[in-house]
């Protein structure tokens, strides 16, 4: 199956339906298909051969979606660049997989000279923005206007579709190789479990360089529905889009949800059209989840669990588990069951499956699992063993097959021989009324090996001390889980996808 088939189908069946809404600019599926076919021709004219990588360094936009489809239509492979990286990190991701063509928006033009000077692979830079194309760059719009549409290259199945670089938490970033089948099957599984809201738009607030953003875009293409896009997450923009852009479904990570609920415009925004809020990408605290359920009573909640190597979907917890029955049973804390074509197991360090209710590593297999890491056979062999993806996530499965995440294996704290799962401690701290956000890490300790350390952001206008945090925790969790130390900050460091960067929190203790 090739990913461009969804665009061809939408252009054939509903050419007048709105495909994208971005900053007041609407384009239909008929228009999008024409622009994509022309962009594919333009990229080929610039030397893109089948299987060649094309990168984009940009905030979210309608052109970003055209870049995805245009590259695939022309037979190429997308390499979306993480906008939060430094120039050396960006250059590594470009050169590692020999990316010759780079598309860049207005916002990132100041980085182009440094990228060109450092990169050994980038030969062509295309400007995709609202301004005039700078000297030495091609114009995205001119390339489309001057090119005649070409036929779809028809690459699909096991052909490479994307090289998506991970965050580089250890060493250099790894290029996750995602095939057309990987991405297509993941999208189809999501559609099977959560059919889209018809004749309405989904709001893209998560970045397209992240697998959650790309995966959501593919789902919406497969459904032939509309994409409402904001350049990057901003709570005010989310609320404006809900008011103005016909948004019926939203995908946010927990930090984004928290910021949206706290925004002054939340109280004056009409959510009557919004049917579903999907959350994922990082754990959500029970306190925040309960706040969402209380403040958005008419909105379905759906939780998706996945990772870049699963392209991205592993499991989905449906709206039914977020109602009263799900709250009574505790299923609303689950990440659901494995998707229709996904097998999930919990294993010990030796790779043996553990009994239900026992914590171990989550491993996954299915047609959505990556082909491997670009040019990293040893890393690939560690992650893919006997057809199973070893996720590095710790969790357990109940008797009904529901999956519960407890922590990243590497984030588990071993204090005095006892395992402490940071997510459990974070859930307790987050319930304190004065806490706006928190993260828990393990830090070196002479006596215990590791000690539990909490980093807390206090709500505006409120006060909180370390001993009060510790006293509060003692009410709910065992003494060895209570933070030995508490640190207060104005904000937590976040990745471009809204995840807390625990590696940055640990740096002061190395």
pTM of the predicted structure, to 2 decimals: 0.85
Tokens of 24: 């007041």
Q: How many CB atoms lie within 10 A of CB 220?
A: 26
Of 427, 406, 424, 416, the residue nearest 360 (C-alpha): 406
Residue 193 and residue 54 share a domain: yes
pLDDT at 232 over 70: yes
Integer-rounded Cα Rg, in Å, for the chain is 23
Cβ within 8 Å of residue 376, ≥6 positions away? 174, 175
Looking at residue 170, its pLDDT comes to 43
12-16, 103-107, 402-406: the lowest-pLDDT one: 402-406
Which of 240, 272, 302 terminates a domain? The answer is 302
18-27, 316-325, 456-465, 483-492: the lowest-pLDDT one: 316-325
Tokens of 159: 């052909």
Confidence of residue 283 (pLDDT cuts 50, 70, 90): low
Cβ within 8 Å of residue 234, ≥6 positions away? none
Cβ within 8 Å of residue 383, ≥6 positions away? 309, 372, 373, 389, 390
The owner of tokens 């995840």 is: 499
pLDDT at 121 over 90: yes
DSSP-derived 3-state class of residue 234: coil
Query: Which whole number is the average pLDDT over 475-482?
Result: 86
CA 17, CA 384: separation in Å to the nearest integer? 41
Backbone angles phi, psi at 106, to 5 degrees: -60, -40
**Residue that wins the pLDDT comparison between 394 and 99:** 99
Q: How many CB atoms lie within 10 A of CB 457?
A: 16
CA 416, CA 92: separation in Å to the nearest integer? 40
Looking at residue 497, its pLDDT comes to 67
The answer to whether residue 392 is domain-embedded is: no
pLDDT at 93 over 60: yes
Which of 253, 272, 302 terminates a domain? The answer is 302
Looking at residue 172, its pLDDT comes to 72
CA 367, CA 377: separation in Å to the nearest integer? 20
Cα dist from 341 to 221, 337, 344, 397, whole Å: 20, 11, 10, 18
DSSP-derived 3-state class of residue 12: helix
Tokens of 39: 């962009």
The answer to whether residue 284 is domain-embedded is: yes
pLDDT at 468 over 90: yes
CA 491, CA 479: separation in Å to the nearest integer? 27
* pLDDT per residue as tens digits for the range 380-410: 999 999 999 999 888 999 999 999 988 777 7
Kind and range of the H or E element at 39? Answer: helix 29-45
Backbone conformation region of residue 326, classed left if phi is above 0, alpha if psi is from -120 to 50, else beta: alpha
What share of the chain has pLDDT > 70, as a percent?
97
CA 103, CA 67: separation in Å to the nearest integer? 8
Kind and range of the H or E element at 385? Answer: strand 384-385
Looking at residue 510, its pLDDT comes to 62
Tokens of 33: 């298909």
Is residue 356 within 8 A of residue 399, CB to CB? The reply is yes
The answer to whether residue 74 is domain-embedded is: yes
pLDDT at 39 over 90: yes
Residue 224 and residue 81 share a domain: yes
Confidence of residue 330 (pLDDT cuts 50, 70, 90): confident
Residue 439 and residue 294 share a domain: no
* pLDDT per residue as tens digits for the range 209-221: 999 999 999 999 9
The answer to whether residue 56 is domain-embedded is: yes
List the beta bridge partners of residue 500. Answer: 494
Q: Give one DSSP letter per residue of 309-373, joined into a string.
A: GGSSEEEEE-GGGGSHHHHHHTGGGS--EEPTT-EEEEE-TTSPBPPTT--EEEEEESTTS--EE
DSSP-derived 3-state class of residue 125: strand
Tokens of 444: 């070196």
Looking at residue 427, its pLDDT comes to 84
Of 166, 52, 59, the residue nearest 109 (C-alpha): 59
pLDDT at 169 over 70: no
The answer to whether residue 404 is domain-embedded is: no
Kind and range of the H or E element at 306? Answer: strand 300-306
* pLDDT per residue as tens digits for the range 347-384: 998 999 999 999 899 999 999 999 999 999 999 999 99
Query: Which whole number is the average pLDDT over 15-30?
Result: 97
Query: Which whole number is the average pLDDT over 466-479?
Result: 90
Say which CATH number the domain at 450 has. 3.30.300.30
The answer to whether residue 14 is domain-embedded is: yes
Looking at residue 167, its pLDDT comes to 59
Q: What is the DSSP letter of 494?
A: B
Overall number of domains in the chain? 2
Say which CATH number the domain at 95 has. 3.40.50.12780
| β-strand pairing of 201-204 with 124-127 | unpaired
Cβ within 8 Å of residue 286, ≥6 positions away? 333, 427, 430, 431
Which of 272, 302, 332 terminates a domain? The answer is 302
Side-by-side strand order, sheet with 124-127? 138-139, 124-127, 101-104, 53-57, 77-80, 160-165, 175-179, 372-373
CA 410, CA 404: separation in Å to the nearest integer? 17
The answer, yes or no, to whether the previous bond of 312 is cis (omega within 30 of 0) is yes
Is residue 297 within 8 A of residue 322, CB to CB? The reply is no
The answer to whether residue 336 is domain-embedded is: no
Domain limits at 222? 1-302
Backbone angles phi, psi at 283, to 5 degrees: -65, 150
pLDDT at 168 over 50: no
pLDDT at 171 over 70: no
List the beta bridge partners of residue 439. Answer: 455
Q: What is the mean pLDDT of the chain?
A: 91
The answer to whether residue 476 is domain-embedded is: yes
Return the top range by mean pLDDT from 141-145, 164-168, 266-270, 316-320: 141-145
Cβ within 8 Å of residue 408, ≥6 positions away? 392, 393, 394
7-11, 179-183, 286-290, 380-384: the lowest-pLDDT one: 286-290
Q: Give one DSSP letter per residue of 439-492, joined into a string.
A: EEEEEEETTTEEEEEEEEEEPTT----HHHHHHHHHTTS-GGGS-SEEEE-S--
What dihedral angle (degrees, nearest 10) is formed by the CA atoms of 279, 284, 285, 290? 10
* pLDDT per residue as tens digits for the range 43-60: 999 999 999 999 999 999
Q: How many CB atoms lie within 10 A of CB 145?
A: 11
């Amino acid at each position: 199956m090739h990913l461009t088939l969804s665009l061809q189908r939408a252009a054939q069946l509903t050419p007048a339906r709105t495909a994208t809404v971005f900053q007041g600019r609407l384009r239909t599926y008929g228009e999008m298909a024409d622009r994509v076919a022309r962009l594919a021709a333009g990229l080929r004219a610039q030397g893109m051969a089948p299987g060649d990588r094309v990168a984009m360094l940009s905030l979210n936009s309608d052109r970003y979606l055209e870049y995805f489809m245009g590259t695939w239509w022309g037979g190429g492979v997308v390499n979306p660049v993480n906008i939060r990286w430094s120039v050396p990190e960006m250059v590594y991701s470009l050169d590692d997989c020999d990316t010759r063509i780079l598309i860049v928006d207005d916002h990132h033009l100041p980085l182009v000279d440094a990228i060109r000077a450092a990169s050994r692979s980038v030969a062509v830079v295309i400007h995709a923005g609202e301004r005039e194309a700078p000297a030495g760059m091609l114009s995205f719009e001119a390339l489309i206007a001057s090119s005649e549409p070409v036929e779809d290259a028809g690459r699909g199945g096991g052909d490479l579709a994307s090289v998506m670089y991970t965050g580089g938490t250890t060493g250099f970033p790894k290029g996750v190789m995602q095939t057309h089948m990987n991405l297509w099957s993941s999208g189809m599984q999501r559609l099977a479990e959560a059919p889209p809201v018809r004749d309405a738009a989904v709001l893209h607030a998560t970045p397209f360089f992240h697998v959650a953003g790309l995966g959501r875009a593919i789902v919406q293409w497969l459904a032939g529905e509309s994409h409402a896009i904001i350049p990057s997450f901003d709570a005010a923009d989310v609320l404006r889009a809900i008011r103005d852009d016909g948004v019926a479904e939203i995908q946010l990570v927990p930090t984004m949800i928290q910021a949206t609920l706290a925004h002054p415009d939340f109280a004056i925004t009409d959510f009557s059209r919004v049917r579903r809020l999907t959350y994922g990408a990082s754990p959500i605290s029970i306190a925040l989840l309960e706040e969402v359920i209380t403040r958005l009573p008419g909105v379905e909640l759906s939780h998706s669990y996945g990772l870049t190597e699963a392209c991205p979907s592993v499991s989905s917890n449906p709206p039914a588990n977020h109602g009263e029955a799900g709250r009574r049973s505790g299923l609303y804390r689950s990440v659901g069951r494995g998707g229709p074509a996904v097998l999930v197991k919990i294993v010990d360090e030796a790779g043996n499956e553990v009994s239900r209710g026992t914590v171990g590593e989550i491993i996954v297999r299915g047609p959505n699992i990556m082909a491997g890491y670009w040019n990293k056979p040893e890393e690939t062999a560690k992650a893919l063993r006997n057809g199973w993806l070893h996720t590095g996530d710790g969790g357990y499965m109940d008797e009904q097959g529901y999956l519960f995440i407890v922590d990243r294996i590497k984030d588990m704290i071993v204090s005095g021989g006892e395992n402490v799962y940071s997510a459990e401690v974070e859930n307790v701290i987050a319930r304190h009324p004065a806490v706006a956000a928190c993260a828990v890490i393990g830090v070196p300790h002479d006596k215990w090996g590791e000690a539990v350390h909490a980093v807390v952001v206090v709500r505006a206008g409120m006060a909180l001390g370390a001993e009060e945090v510790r006293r509060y925790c003692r009410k709910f969790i065992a003494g060895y889980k209570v933070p030995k130390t508490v640190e207060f900050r104005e904000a937590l460091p976040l990745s471009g996808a809204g995840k807390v960067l625990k590696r940055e929190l640990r740096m002061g203790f190395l």
